[in-house]
Amino acid sequence: MSIEQVKAYLTECGLGSRVQEFDVSSATVELAAQALGCEPCLIAKTMSFLVNEHVVLVVLAGDARVDNAKFKAEFHQKAKMLSHEQVSERTGFPVGGVCPFLAPEGTKVYLDESLRRFEIVYPAAGSRNSAVKVNLEELERASRAEKWIDVSKLA
């Protein structure tokens, strides 16, 4: 999956003009916050897990961490992140550029409650140097999220 495909999709969703590409990396929460000039908590990081042999993407606030007990309660198994090799192979995006948009068939996207504290958040747009400004309703719609879940704790 390329940033061009994500931009085209977000354009269809009415969000294409909000995609930003940077001359610097935005592959980590800290780098993305620096590139955008915002607080790290506003970065909507997309984490990829393997649940019953299927990829699950969970979008959390930048200052949130996965709470293993909550994850197990939600998914009935221990949190198992994809390896670096599996990330691009199974999500179609590079490590540091995984986004919740255009997830491969069979991949489910969930939005974590840690995001609800904010009106606007910035998920990646499919590359290691991009982001898109969205409100929570837009994120939910454009990501085609299954549902909101609570699998996090604040750092």
Secondary structure, 3-state, the chain = CCHHHHHHHHHHCCCHHHEEECCCCCCCHHHHHHHHCCCHHHEEEEEEEEECCEEEEEEEECCEEECHHHHHHHHCCCCCECCHHHHHHHHCCCCCCCCCCCCCCCCEEEEEHHHHHCCEEEECCCCCCEEECEEHHHHHHHHCCCEEECCEEEC
Average confidence (pLDDT) over 95-123: 96
| Confidence check: pLDDT of 155 > 90 | no
Instruction: Give the tens place of pLDDT for each residue, 68-87.
Output: 999 999 999 999 999 999 99
**Given this structure, which CATH class describes domain 3-154?**
alpha beta
Q: Where do the structural domains in the chain lie, given as residue ranges?
A: 3-154
